[in-house]
């Protein structure tokens, strides 16, 4: 909503949506997968936008942002990732499962995960893990050459902040700037975080517009 307000103030077109099984969208999270959600992002890009686009993705959305950009490179003018979490299904979920949980996942197709941080336990499906493996990005160069900005809090307990530096190294673009914020967590939703986000986006827009 902060991005929408910023774009309205600037007269900038803006589209946002909830992925299937998230927020106000229909469906169940357990029925989704990284590939399905990335396909949905591409469908929104194709059906509801025109001309060059800046994609903004937070957490899992940062992974989907990259996958959608790879599918529509000619349409992408720039990217803004907020605590972007590529490969999280493998590195942050599957790798953290105990041997018993992994056996349950393989045998029954799902396993309940309780991270003990006050959040409700959630179901991880074998489909999510196996599909995620088909879309891993952090093991090879990422062929995106547009301007890219990454913001990550160093108090992020969900996605290691060093992920942003790994992304910067793997992206083909020479114009990748990383902002690390010592006091911020994963959500990057405090007032100072939102002000920083819109300032970075405004500067990115000026860079893109100046390069045309």
Does residue 102 contact residue 94 with C-beta atoms inside 8 Å? yes
CB 185 within 8 A of CB 156: yes
Do 123 and 110 touch, CB atoms closer than 8 A?
yes
Q: List C-alpha distances in Å: 103 to 31, 78, 96, 98, 99.
A: 20, 41, 13, 9, 6
| Strand order across the 176-181 sheet | 53-58, 76-82, 148-153, 176-181
- Choosing from 156, 170, 184, 193, the catalytic residue is 156
Per DSSP, 91 falls in state I
Q: Which is the catalytic residue, given 33, 170, 186, 193? A: 186
- The rounded distance, in Å, linking the Cα atoms of 177 and 3 is 20
From the DSSP assignment, how many helices (H) and strands (E) are in the chain?
Answer: 8, 6
C-beta of residue 35 within 8 angstroms of C-beta of residue 135: yes
Q: Determine whether 59 is an active site residue.
A: yes
156 annotated active-site: yes
Considering 33, 40, 58, 59, which one is annotated as catalytic?
59
186 catalytic per annotation: yes
Catalytic residues: 59, 156, 186
């Amino acid at each position: 909503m902060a991005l929408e307000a910023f774009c309205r103030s600037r007269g900038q077109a803006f589209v946002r949506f909830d992925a299937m099984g998230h927020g106000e969208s229909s469906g169940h999270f357990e029925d989704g997968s990284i590939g399905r959600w990335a396909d949905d992002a591409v469908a929104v890009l194709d059906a509801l936008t025109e001309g060059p686009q800046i994609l903004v993705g937070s957490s899992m959305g940062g992974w989907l942002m990259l996958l959608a950009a790879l599918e529509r490179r000619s349409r992408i003018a720039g990217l803004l990732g907020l605590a972007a979490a590529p490969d999280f299904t493998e590195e942050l979920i599957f790798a953290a499962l105990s041997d018993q949980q992994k056996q349950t996942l393989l045998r029954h197709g799902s396993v309940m995960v309780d991270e003990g941080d006050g959040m409700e336990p959630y179901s991880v499906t074998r489909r999510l893990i196996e599909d995620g493996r088909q879309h891993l990005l952090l093991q090879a160069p990422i062929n995106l050459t547009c301007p890219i900005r990454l913001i990550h809090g160093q108090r992020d307990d969900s996605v290691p902040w060093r992920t942003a530096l790994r992304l910067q190294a793997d992206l083909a673009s020479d114009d990748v700037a990383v902002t690390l914020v010592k006091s911020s967590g994963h959500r990057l939703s405090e007032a100072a975080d939102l002000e920083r986000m819109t300032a970075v986006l405004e500067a990115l827009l000026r860079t893109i517009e100046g390069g045309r």
